[in-house]
């Protein structure tokens, strides 16, 4: 019989938020016949924290492992709380390192970090970037590298013969993802390409569509904002675009970027956090410095003028994305969830 799991994370898809790993990885594990309990789907942060607390207490004796999506800001503290309950009951727990800014959290909260990560069964790093950071902080004895995953069969590769200035951006509208940079890039492109387009897909967080639209108007450019789309909807939408950009200030191993690679969209991204560990510059993407609008615009122009380079990057990107297929990654999870 397979182990019974309690998965702790922000399960907020039903409230209109983007799916997180608790929804995606959890569903995939269920397909492998694991039994899962989840917490929490409470929308309010305080209620969600309390629900995680009581769910852990209620289920701790009947489950075999606790999986904890571990972030770097306020949500870091639920990982701490749940991990210490698990320690009290001698229940093995597995933090899954999700926060792109976890390196700063390790530095700012060393004692609490040690309580969480030194006593876990495993710490799961989804990127070589976080793997190396945690290794440097001496959390290496129980450290495992298991990447974020997709089901590659859901992503049809579309080869682009000619590359047009049709740009796609997919991420939550949060300041850490720097959505205004995408609009700045479009304004730069308009100098050379009057037909340049930008579509931004993502739900509102602290950054609102109305303020981004006002910013676009101030730069005299038009941007399409779709709001939140389902995965199927934005994959269908992606057929109308030729280049994918990622403008983030902090990152780990973004699934949206892996999905863009799988779809055959040449990617231009900032080289922050785990991104340079995920893609190689001018092989599987083009990388630019954080907030370097001119460099990102220049990279897009190069892809338009050099379709052979764009096709090479897209083909290599697809091969890379195939390594993240669940049929490969699931064996690593099965190895630790015995």
Sheet holding 243-246, edge to edge: 224-227, 197-201, 166-170, 243-246, 267-270, 286-288
- The CATH number given to 4-147+326-336 is 3.40.50.2000
Contacts 24+ apart (CB under 8 A), 11-15: 11/38, 11/39, 11/40, 11/41, 12/41, 12/43, 14/41, 15/41, 15/43
pLDDT band at 140 (very low <50, low <70, confident <90, very high): confident
pLDDT at 100: 84
What's the chain's Rg over C-alpha atoms?
20
**Is the fold of 4-147+326-336 the same as that of 152-322?**
yes
Domain-wise residue ranges, the chain: 4-147+326-336, 152-322
pLDDT surpasses 90 at 1: no
Structure tokens at 93: 């727990």
Contacts of 321 (CB under 8 A, 6+ apart): 150, 152, 155, 258, 259, 261, 262
pLDDT surpasses 90 at 99: no
pLDDT at 17: 84
pLDDT surpasses 90 at 169: yes
**32-87: pLDDT as tens digits:** 999 999 999 999 999 999 999 999 999 999 999 999 999 999 999 999 999 999 99
Selected from 3.90.1200.10, 3.40.50.10490, 3.40.50.2000, 3.30.420.40, the CATH number assigned to the domain covering 152-322 reads: 3.40.50.2000
Computed over every residue of the chain, the mean pLDDT equals 96
d(CA 120, CA 143) in angstroms, rounded, equals: 9
pLDDT at 312: 98
**270-293: pLDDT as tens digits:** 999 999 999 999 999 999 999 999
Q: For the chain, what percent of residues have pLDDT higher than 70? A: 100
CA dist 220 to 38, 179, 187, 213, 266, Å? Answer: 46, 17, 8, 10, 26
Residues across the chain: 338
pLDDT band at 16 (very low <50, low <70, confident <90, very high): confident
The counts of H helices and E strands in the chain are 14, 12
* Residue 119, SS3 per DSSP: coil
* pTM assigned to the model: 0.94
């Amino acid at each position: 019989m397979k182990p019974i799991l309690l998965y702790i994370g922000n399960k907020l898809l039903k409230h209109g938020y983007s799916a997180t790993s608790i929804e995606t990885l959890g569903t995939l594990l269920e397909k492998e016949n694991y039994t899962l309990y989840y917490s929490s789907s409470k929308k309010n942060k305080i209620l969600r924290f309390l629900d995680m607390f009581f769910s852990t207490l209620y289920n701790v004796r009947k489950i075999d492992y606790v999986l904890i999506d571990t972030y770097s800001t306020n949500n870091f503290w639920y990982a701490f709380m749940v991990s210490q309950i698990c320690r009290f009951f001698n229940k093995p727990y597995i933090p899954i390192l999700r926060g792109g800014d976890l390196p700063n959290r390790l530095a700012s909260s060393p004692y609490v970090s040690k309580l969480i990560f030194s006593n876990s069964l495993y710490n799961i790093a989804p990127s070589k970037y976080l793997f190396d950071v945690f290794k440097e902080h001496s959390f290496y004895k129980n450290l495992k590298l298991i990447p974020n995953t997709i089901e590659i069969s859901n992503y049809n590769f579309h080869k682009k013969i000619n590359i047009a200035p049709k740009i796609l951006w997919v991420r939550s509208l949060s300041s850490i993802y720097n959505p205004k940079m995408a609009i700045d890039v479009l304004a730069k492109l308009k100098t050379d390409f009057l037909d340049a387009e930008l579509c931004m897909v993502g739900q509102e967080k602290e950054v609102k569509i109305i303020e981004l639209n006002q910013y676009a108007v101030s730069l005299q450019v038009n941007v399409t904002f779709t709001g939140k789309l389902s995965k199927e909807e934005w994959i269908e939408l992606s057929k109308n675009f030729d280049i994918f950009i990622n403008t983030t200030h902090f990152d780990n191993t973004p699934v949206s970027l892996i999905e863009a690679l799988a779809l055959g969209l040449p990617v231009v991204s900032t080289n922050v956090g785990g991104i340079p560990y995920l893609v190689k510059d001018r092989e599987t993407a083009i990388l630019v410095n954080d907030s370097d609008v001119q460099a990102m615009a220049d990279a897009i122009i190069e892809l338009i003028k050099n379709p052979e380079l764009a096709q090479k990057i897209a083909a290599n990107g697809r091969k890379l994305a195939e390594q993240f297929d669940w049929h490969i990654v699931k064996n690593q999870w099965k190895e630790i969830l015995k």
